[in-house]
Amino acid sequence: MIELAPAYTSVAVFFDPVDVAKASEQQATYSIGWRRELALLQFQAQRKPRSAPRTVEIQSATIQSSRRLDEVARHAQISTEQVVELHSAADYRVACIGSFPISFMAGLPKK
């Protein structure tokens, strides 16, 4: 295995296919070992106590300066001021963290 990359609803497993091909004689053992290891990781994750959620306030001016603000307001059939107000007042939850400094947020108001 080279790397694991967790995503919102999946996990990508990167591996070296040449190394896997070289281990073809041990493939059944290798496969069983992987399944056992993944099951153990899942079990440990379920048993691990979750830390209390915490709130982090992040200042952002991007919604007010966004060139798509008018488009969002038209789509939602509300004023641009209401878009800014709704966006600014919401509490967002980090759903997952992507590559680069990007996080995927949940909690956008339905309106």
Model confidence pLDDT, tens digit, residues 46-68: 666 777 878 877 776 555 566 78
* Rama region for 77: left / alpha / beta (φ>0; ψ in -120 to 50; rest): left
Q: Name residue 14's amino acid.
A: F
Give percent of the chain above pLDDT 70.
Answer: 73
Angle at which helices 80-89 and 69-76 pack, to 10 degrees? 90
- For residues 95 and 8, the answer to whether their CB atoms sit within 8 Å is yes
Residue-averaged pLDDT of the chain: 76
Q: Are 104 and 94 in contact (CB under 8 A)?
A: yes
Predicted pLDDT of residue 30: 53
Local confidence band at 88 (pLDDT 50, 70, 90 cut-offs): confident
pLDDT for the residue numbered 77: 94
Do the Cβ atoms of 65 and 80 come closer than 8 Å? Answer: no
Q: Give the model's confidence band at 31: pLDDT under 50 very low, under 70 low, under 90 confident, else very high.
A: low
Band (75; pLDDT cuts 50, 70, 90): very high
pLDDT of residue 28 exceeding 60: no
User: For residue 99, what pLDDT is reported?
Assistant: 67
